[in-house]
């Protein structure tokens, strides 16, 4: 698909002018100001990208210009590629003004390839994007036909573009000019100067000669356009292994309608998962708003799940935060991550019955939805003597290994040891008093030191060894202190 005036359409879409007006974006190269992109109205007046602004103004005095913003254009194109996810999961932006959609196996959902293209162009036109689309057996051929095909004038509604004949359409392709080969401008100009003006003419030249004279790119492009070299479309986001969709003739917006749609989609998805003996670990619901915005709600579960009632309840809280705007016309449920769910269940945290297993998994999921995916924490032993490394995160529902017996450890530990200023400490004695968080603590008892050396293979720069002390102040409060170097004391934990 080709969006010949994407950069200007994008701006126009945001401003919503009352009538079509000639519009262009500007690029400053040195002290010259050149047109970077022009819209259809400006193109009809004879303006082309690369023209100097002064010349353009002479031709079209009422031309509206805006600075070119390639970064924003790229981001907007990526968003549009994501929006095209309503047609196919394999979508990717191409260059500055193109999109690839792999519609293999998707066209039947729209009533055939021609109907899919018509729908795509109509929707893009409604969003304010001029587009031309071609469907072909290879991405290279589709690229060429979208830009070079004889679709006539660039159309805002669905009459632009071509569908190449099934099985390659080599006859059509051979007649295309060499600029259809996705080559750098200089290379294409060289070919034309040598009289190789069409794809067919280049194809007729012996390949070793082509490689010698023009490098490997030209031959690769030829192979790609004729399908001799596979060119997969790399989607922006990983493609979900399983997804179900539902389109609406009338856009929906009421929260209860959205909830009902979510329930239906999840039920369908769970039925498909049951057939594959799989359960969900990550579920996403994607909604496409009529104004071209894509909304997403997703939840993760602690273990594979395909109970549609539970999944619906889990994702329900997320749905409430979505803004349907003027309505939603398409919804997808995607199994972002699915894992086998059969007879073998993982060993769960000290549970006695299957019912309490389920209840615990359910609880962990609900806590994670409300408090954040990293909030539910299970800590298991790690092979380290350094206190902050001696425990590590394990899966919330896994069976935990026991902690090895060791020296006394504090009840609570600070994530970062807090520096304290110590008074009256000697090389082998604990301080008599210390100031922690602007409070003076007079110590009356101390036990230590316990020397803990950092692992030399972990800290390349050589972290100092720590001498740990248990201390108690006059009020009976107990702390865990360590000294890193003479005079440098830290408070790391609290005892009871």
Partner 1 sequence: MSGASRHGLLAELRERIDRVGRPEAGLGRVHALDGGGPLDRALPGGALPRAALHEVVAAAPTQAGAAAGFAASLLGRIAAGEEAGAVLWIAALEGEVGLPYPPGLAVFGLDPTRLLLLRVGAAEDALWAAEEAARSRALAAVLVETRRLDPLAGRRLQLAAEAGACAILALVVPRRAGEGAGHRAGFSLFEVSGLPGADFRVSAWRVAFSCRGGPGALWPRIEWCHATHRFGVAAELRDRSDRARTAAAGA
| 38 vs 360 by CB, closer to partner 1 | 360
- The CB-of-271 to partner 1 minimum distance in angstroms stands at 27
Q: Which listed residue (52, 122, 204, 411) binds partner 1 by CB under 8 A?
A: 411
Tally of CB atoms within 10 A around 327: 16
Query: Is residue 271 within a helix (H) or strand (E), and if so which, with residue range?
Result: helix 255-275
- The CB-of-413 to partner 1 minimum distance in angstroms stands at 4
Which of the stretches 85-93, 102-110, 396-404, 459-467 binds partner 1 when contact is defined by CB under 8 A? Answer: 396-404
Closest residue by Cα to residue 453 from 468, 441, 440: 468
Which residue carries 């004729």 as its tokens? 226
Please report whether residue 321 would count as binding partner 1 according to CB under 8 A.
Answer: no
Closest residue by Cα to residue 437 from 422, 420, 424, 425: 420
DSSP 75-130: HHHHHHHHHGGGT-SEEEEETTTEEEEE-TTTGGGGTSHHHHHHHHHHHHHHHT--
377 and 370 Cβ atoms separated by less than 8 Å: no
| 246 vs 435 by CB, closer to partner 1 | 435
- The CB-of-229 to partner 1 minimum distance in angstroms stands at 52
Closest residue by Cα to residue 136 from 160, 108, 169, 114: 169
| 374 vs 383 by CB, closer to partner 1 | 374
Please report whether residue 373 would count as binding partner 1 according to CB under 8 A.
Answer: no
Which of the stretches 279-287, 293-301, 424-432, 471-479 binds partner 1 when contact is defined by CB under 8 A? Answer: 471-479
Please report whether residue 449 would count as binding partner 1 according to CB under 8 A.
Answer: no
Please report whether residue 300 would count as binding partner 1 according to CB under 8 A.
Answer: no
Please report whether residue 139 would count as binding partner 1 according to CB under 8 A.
Answer: no
Closest residue by Cα to residue 282 from 245, 336, 241, 361: 336
Q: What 8-state DSSP symbol labels residue 135?
A: B
- The CB-of-449 to partner 1 minimum distance in angstroms stands at 14
Please report whether residue 434 would count as binding partner 1 according to CB under 8 A.
Answer: no
Dihedral pair phi/psi, residue 66, rounded to 5°: -145, 150
- The CB-of-412 to partner 1 minimum distance in angstroms stands at 4
Please report whether residue 93 would count as binding partner 1 according to CB under 8 A.
Answer: no
Residues in the chain: 496
- The CB-of-312 to partner 1 minimum distance in angstroms stands at 17
Closest residue by Cα to residue 243 from 335, 330, 308: 335
List interacting residues with partner 1 (CB under 8 A). 349-352, 356, 359-360, 362-364, 366-367, 370-371, 374-381, 387, 390-391, 396, 400-403, 406, 408-415, 444-445, 447, 470, 472, 474-478, 493-496
């Amino acid at each position: 698909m080709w969006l010949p005036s994407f950069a200007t359409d994008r701006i126009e879409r945001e401003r919503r002018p009352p009538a079509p007006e000639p519009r262009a974006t500007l690029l400053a190269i040195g002290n010259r100001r050149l047109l970077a992109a022009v819209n259809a109205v400006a193109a009809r007046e004879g303006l082309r990208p690369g023209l100097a602004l002064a010349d353009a103004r002479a031709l079209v005095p009422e031309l509206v210009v805006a600075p070119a913003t390639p970064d924003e254009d790229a981001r907007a194109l990526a968003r549009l590629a994501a929006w095209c996810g309503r047609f196919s999961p394999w979508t990717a932006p191409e260059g500055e003004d193109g999109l690839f959609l792999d519609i293999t196996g998707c066209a039947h959902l729209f009533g055939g390839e021609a109907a899919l293209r018509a729908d795509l162009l109509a929707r893009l036109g409604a969003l304010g994007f001029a587009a031309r689309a071609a469907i072909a057996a290879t991405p290279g051929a589709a690229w060429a036909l979208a830009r070079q095909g004889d679709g006539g004038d660039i159309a805002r509604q669905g009459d632009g573009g071509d569908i190449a004949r099934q099985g390659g359409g080599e006859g059509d392709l051979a007649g295309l000019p060499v600029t259809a080969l996705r080559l750098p401008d200089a290379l294409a100009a060289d070919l034309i100067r040598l009289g190789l003006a069409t794809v067919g003419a280049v194809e007729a030249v012996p390949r070793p000669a082509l490689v010698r004279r023009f490098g490997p790119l030209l031959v690769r492009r030829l192979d790609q356009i004729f399908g001799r070299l596979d060119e997969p479309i790399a989607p922006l986001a990983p493609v979900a292994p399983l997804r179900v969709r539902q389109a609406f003739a009338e856009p929906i917006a009421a929260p209860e309608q959205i909830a009902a749609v979510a329930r239906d989609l999840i039920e369908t998805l769970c039925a498909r998962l049951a057939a594959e003996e799989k359960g969900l670990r990550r579920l996403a619901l994607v909604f496409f708003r009529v104004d071209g915005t894509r909304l997403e709600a997703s939840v993760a579960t602690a273990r594979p799940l395909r109970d549609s009632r539970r999944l619906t309840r889990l994702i329900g809280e997320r749905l409430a935060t979505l803004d349907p705007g003027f309505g939603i016309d398409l919804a997808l449920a995607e199994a972002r991550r699915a894992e086998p769910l059969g007879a073998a269940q993982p060993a769960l945290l000290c549970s006695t019955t299957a019912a309490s297993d389920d209840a615990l998994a359910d609880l962990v999921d609900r806590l994670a939805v409300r408090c954040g995916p990293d909030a539910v924490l299970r800590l298991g032993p790690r092979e380290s003597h350094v206190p902050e490394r001696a425990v590590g995160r394990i899966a919330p529902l896994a069976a935990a290994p026991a902690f090895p017996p060791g020296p006394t450890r504090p009840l609570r530990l600070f994530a970062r040891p807090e520096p304290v200023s110590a008074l009256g400490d000697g090389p082998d004695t604990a301080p008599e008093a210390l100031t922690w968080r602007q409070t003076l603590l007079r110590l009356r008892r101390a036990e230590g030191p316990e020397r803990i050396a950092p692992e030399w293979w972990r800290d390349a720069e050589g972290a100092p060894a720590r001498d740990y002390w248990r201390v108690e102040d006059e009020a009976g409060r107990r702390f865990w202190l360590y000294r890193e170097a003479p005079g440098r004391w830290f408070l790391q934990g609290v005892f009871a």
